[in-house]
Amino acid sequence: MTRSVYVTGIGRSDGRQVVELGVMELLTRQVDRVGVFRPLVHDGPDRLYDLLRSRYRLTQPASSVFGMSYEDAAALQAEQGTDELISRLVDRYHQVSDTYEAVLVLGTDFADTGLPAELALNARLANEFGAAVLPVVAARDQSPETVVAEVRNAHDAYASLGADLIAMVANRVSDPEAAAAVRGLAERLPEPVFVLPEEPALAAPTVAQVKEATGAKVLLGDHAGLSRDVRNLVFGGAHLPVFLPALTEGCLVVTPGDRSDLIIGALAAHSAGSPAIAGVLLTLDEHPGDQTLALASRLAPGTPVLVVPEGSMPTADALLSLEGKLTAATPRKAEIALGLFETHVDAALLSERLSVERSERVTPMMFEHELVQRSRTGSSKRRHIVLPEGTEERVLRATEVLLRRNICDLTLLGEPGAVRKRAAELSIHLDLLADDEAPADPSAGPGGATARIVDPQTSPLRERFAESYAKLRAHKGVTYELAHDVVSDVSYFGTMMVREGLADGMVSGAVHSTAATVRPAFEIIRTKPDASIVSSVFFMCLADRVLVYGDCAVVPDPDAEQLADIAIQSATTAARFGVEPRIAMLSYSTGASGSGADVDKVRRATELVRERRPDLLIEGPIQYDAAVEPSVAATKLPGSRVAGQATVLIFPDLNTGNNTYKAVQRSAGAVAVGPVLQGLRKPVNDLSRGALVQDIVNTVAITAVQAQEESAPGT
């Protein structure tokens, strides 16, 4: 039976999109097919639905998402009554609920709807849908007494109308005393009450949203610049010496277009990193001269310079009332919103109250959710991962996600000034600790994930690492002087941090080659006692399943012994991440139909796996189609417990594996997570140089889970 969640409110500006996004995240962790239904909608694009569709890869036809427009609903209600309106919306809802395992219902927004008794309408719709209700109450800039009264009134109103309440949310709470008062109220209500604080990074509009709101024209700037948050406004009219001290990080400078001195001064300050501004907005439709624009573009490449026709006062009026929005074009804000939701909402309790039966099949989306959840809660001690490429944009953006979602503690390697300046240019607000500040100890009490910056060139650890590395490589003639140079390299420094227990794992490769990441690990971390080689797997997230491919990145031409080791390692990795291992040893021949050295190698490797691990389900040699397609398996290997349903696919050599994973990734639209290295004493993982931000987040989460497993008793 479909279980629906109806997220609603009691008035405007409650910021419930954060809650709607968080609930969608919970639902997609548990079930494969989640539908979305918005009973009533304004004309124009629905930004939140576009975000949900993009982020959660929804395939639901847009025509089934929306009931009807507010205008049509008001007319229908006036002409034929509320019962007729409800009846039609219920019919539309069931078209969705009959198709999906769970439905997220987005309640009315209380903004120019033309509907009377809107709260009662939401309650009745929820009752008719059989949906659990999650009311959200706006609490921004309200006193403790007011917030408590609003939450209690909302609870009583929906409860009196027969709503099946699962929780209450007080959102955008800016007063710590109000937050404490609401938590106290929770003890007197039958349902849990969650308190979400005001988050400035969500309220801040992007430069692109400023452009849209003011009708500005872009003179300079790139996509990354337009995505910067506007955290403050500075109106320029004074002389430059007075103007410069007024600049703050993330501010938007608003000045007449003929003030070239202020334009160049603001951009020069940005270039120097003191401070990094969001951009410049010119008024009165005044365009600077070509020489000024050329200098501006060289001073701060990518920084937006916009122009509007209005003067400063009407421009200020438009800007002061502007707030940030969650849209598909602002994925950073979505991550911030999810981090806020997950930090302040008891996800386990809310999931339990949602009463959604978990799907048996593990989908790619569920795999990613489970990965993040395990990295965050799989151990009482939060893991600490080192990222050598501290100034790389994708790494910094991934760092923000990892910290917001409390996945792990981090160390970024690089020159502190350069790292901080790059983060500020990207409008990424990270509270980065200095080299001599240790991350917060999670065992000391509640606390969020932290990040610090370490410069290998100047860190006191350099001497310690040089001594250790020289001893490790003395048999290769490495002296202390040579080691002192080697460990200043970020890849070697990061690997030494892992070896010395100052980090639990390392992730690199966004700008470095695989060799630059893996070679230090081979030299310093070395293989486990029970592993003959280091190999790798990719988690291939297809549309309807997750497969494990090995080895596609490390071992060029394994012999039978090595191939057996790769298969056993890959099965262990698969099981560790929730994929039940059924191993297919791939070849160009299935069963006993072929012969030759290549087939014989695979056949021998299969026998070795059966001897060493008789508990594992394995088939080989087997062709790819017989391994994954039941109809082919029924013909080629009838009765096999692996054929047609293999989850771990072992390729005979690197040439075959690497080309196959890339072909599947590009042709089938699969998400390839990895390569995940296996066989090392401590986790070090490589990234593709084309890795996206989410790829980095996933790989860091995998590394944190590996670190948890490595430190578990008995391992």
CB atoms near residue 69 (< 10 Å): 13
What is the spatial distance between Cα 499 and Cα 192, in angstroms, rounded to a whole number? 44
What pLDDT is recorded for position 561?
93
Q: Which of 191-205, 349-363, 448-462, 662-676 has the lowest mean pLDDT?
A: 349-363
What pLDDT is recorded for position 365?
67
Q: 415 and 279: one domain? A: no
| pLDDT tens column, 333-377 | 888 898 889 888 988 888 888 876 555 556 666 777 778 778 876
Say which CATH number the domain at 641 has. 3.40.50.10750
Evaluate the omega torsion of the peptide bond into residue 275 and state whether it is cis, within 30 degrees of 0.
yes
Q: Is 546 part of a structural domain of the chain?
A: yes
Q: 518 and 546: one domain? A: no
Is the CB of residue 76 less than 8 Å from the CB of residue 84?
yes
Q: Comparing C-alpha atoms, which of 643, 654, 626, 629 is closest to residue 550?
A: 654
Q: End of a domain among 179, 199, 219? A: 199
The one-letter code for the residue type at 95 is Q
What pLDDT is recorded for position 357?
57
Whether 711 has a pLDDT exceeding 90, the answer reads no
What pLDDT is recorded for position 15?
85
Is the CB of residue 151 less than 8 Å from the CB of residue 182?
yes
SS3 assignment, position 579: coil
Q: 61 and 147: one domain? A: yes
What pLDDT is recorded for position 610?
94
Q: Which residue has the tokens 């009583």?
A: 156
Q: 32 and 69: one domain? A: yes
User: In the numeric block, which tokens belong to residue 674?
Assistant: 């990895």
What is the spatial distance between Cα 246 and Cα 217, in angstroms, rounded to a whole number? 25
In which band, very low, low, confident or very high, does the pLDDT at 2 lie, cut at 50, 70 and 90? Answer: low
Q: 193 and 211: one domain? A: no
What is the spatial distance between Cα 644 and Cα 168, in angstroms, rounded to a whole number? 47
What is the spatial distance between Cα 138 and Cα 135, in angstroms, rounded to a whole number? 10
Say which CATH number the domain at 292 has. 3.40.1390.20
Average pLDDT over residues 526-534: 83
SS3 assignment, position 171: strand
What pLDDT is recorded for position 568?
94
Whether 379 has a pLDDT exceeding 70, the answer reads no
Q: Is 355 part of a structural domain of the chain?
A: no
Strands 305-307 and 217-220: antiparallel
Q: Is 335 part of a structural domain of the chain?
A: no
Is the CB of residue 333 less than 8 Å from the CB of residue 17?
no
Virtual torsion, Cα 568, 570, 576, 577, nearest 10 deg: -160
Q: Is 470 part of a structural domain of the chain?
A: yes
Average pLDDT over residues 125-129: 90
Is the CB of residue 386 less than 8 Å from the CB of residue 490?
no
Complete DSSP assignment for 489-509: SHHHHHHHHHHTTS-SEEEE-
Is the CB of residue 653 less than 8 Å from the CB of residue 558?
yes
Q: 172 and 226: one domain? A: no
Is the CB of residue 1 less than 8 Å from the CB of residue 110?
no
User: In the numeric block, which tokens belong to residue 593?
Assistant: 């139909």
Whether 494 has a pLDDT exceeding 90, the answer reads yes
Q: 651 and 519: one domain? A: no
In which band, very low, low, confident or very high, does the pLDDT at 632 lie, cut at 50, 70 and 90? Answer: very high
Average pLDDT over residues 657-678: 85
What is the spatial distance between Cα 486 and Cα 465, in angstroms, rounded to a whole number? 10
Whether 635 has a pLDDT exceeding 60, the answer reads yes
Give the E-state strand segments of 180-298 in sequence order: 193-197, 217-220, 232-235, 251-256, 279-283
Whether 380 has a pLDDT exceeding 60, the answer reads no
| pLDDT tens column, 48-70 | 899 999 888 888 888 899 999 88
Q: For the chain, count helices (H), then strands (E).
A: 29, 25
What pLDDT is recorded for position 713?
44
CB atoms near residue 623 (< 10 Å): 22
Give every strand in the sheet of 505-508, ordered side by side: 432-433, 451-454, 409-413, 384-387, 505-508, 684-686
- pTM of the entire structure? 0.78
Percent of the chain, pLDDT > 90?
A: 32
In which band, very low, low, confident or very high, does the pLDDT at 21 lie, cut at 50, 70 and 90? Answer: very high
Cα 101 to its chain centre, rounded Å, is 24
What pLDDT is recorded for position 1?
46
In which band, very low, low, confident or very high, does the pLDDT at 187 lie, cut at 50, 70 and 90? Answer: confident
Q: 242 and 275: one domain? A: yes
| pLDDT tens column, 680-707 | 899 999 888 878 888 899 899 999 988 8
User: In the numeric block, which tokens belong to residue 261?
Assistant: 């001195």
Q: Which residue has the higher pLDDT, 700 or 29?
A: 700
What pLDDT is recorded for position 439?
47
Q: 481 and 538: one domain? A: no
Domain boundaries, position 654: 533-679
Q: Long-range contacts made by residues 706-711, C-beta under 8 angstroms, separation at least 24? A: 706/505, 706/576, 706/676, 707/383, 707/385, 707/504, 707/505, 707/682, 707/683, 708/374, 708/375, 708/378, 708/379, 708/383, 709/576, 710/504, 710/681, 710/682, 710/683, 711/379, 711/381, 711/504
Whether 715 has a pLDDT exceeding 50, the answer reads no
Q: 169 and 310: one domain? A: no
What is the spatial distance between Cα 173 and Cα 447, in angstroms, rounded to a whole number? 19
Q: Is 342 part of a structural domain of the chain?
A: no
Average pLDDT of the chain, as a whole number: 86
Q: Is 636 part of a structural domain of the chain?
A: yes
Whether 541 has a pLDDT exceeding 80, the answer reads yes
What are 649's strand-pairing partners?
549, 584
Q: Is 316 part of a structural domain of the chain?
A: yes
What is the spatial distance between Cα 590 and Cα 56, in angstroms, rounded to a whole number? 38
User: In the numeric block, which tokens belong to residue 685?
Assistant: 């993982």
Q: 216 and 166: one domain? A: no
Strands 432-433 and 451-454: parallel
Say which CATH number the domain at 115 has. 3.40.50.300
Say which CATH number the domain at 409 has. 3.40.50.10950
In sequence order, what are the residues at sequence separation of 6 or more whose Cβ sits closer than 8 angstroms to the Cβ of residue 231?
Answer: 200, 204, 248, 249, 250, 251, 278
**What is the Cα Rg of the chain in Å?**
28
Complete DSSP assignment for 640-687: -SSTT---EEE-SSHHHHHHHHHHHHHHS--EEEEEEEESBSS-EEE-
Angle at 184 between CA 183 and CA 188, to 5 degrees: 110
What is the spatial distance between Cα 93 and Cα 36, in angstroms, rounded to a whole number? 9
Q: Which residue has the tokens 């009931």?
A: 67
Average pLDDT over residues 105-130: 84
Q: How many domains does the chain have?
A: 4
Q: End of a domain among 199, 234, 259? A: 199
Q: Could you tell me the sign of the dihedral formed by the alpha carbons of 179, 183, 188, 194, in that order?
A: positive
Q: Which of 300-309, 372-381, 464-473 has the lowest mean pLDDT?
A: 372-381
User: In the numeric block, which tokens belong to residue 472?
Assistant: 């490790």
Q: 368 and 279: one domain? A: no
In which band, very low, low, confident or very high, does the pLDDT at 445 lie, cut at 50, 70 and 90? Answer: very low
Q: Is 351 part of a structural domain of the chain?
A: no
In which band, very low, low, confident or very high, does the pLDDT at 24 lie, cut at 50, 70 and 90? Answer: very high
User: In the numeric block, which tokens belong to residue 318?
Assistant: 């438009």
In which band, very low, low, confident or very high, does the pLDDT at 289 lie, cut at 50, 70 and 90? Answer: confident
| pLDDT tens column, 385-417 | 999 999 999 999 999 989 888 888 999 999 988
CB atoms near residue 317 (< 10 Å): 11
Is the CB of residue 651 less than 8 Å from the CB of residue 660?
yes
In sequence order, what are the residues at sequence separation of 6 or more whose Cβ sits closer than 8 angstroms to the Cβ of residue 260?
Answer: 288, 289, 292
Distance (Å) of CA 545 to CA 18, 360, 660: 29, 11, 17
Q: Which residue has the higher pLDDT, 448 or 475?
A: 475
| pLDDT tens column, 237-280 | 888 888 989 998 889 999 988 888 999 999 998 888 778 889 99
Q: End of a domain among 262, 293, 320? A: 320
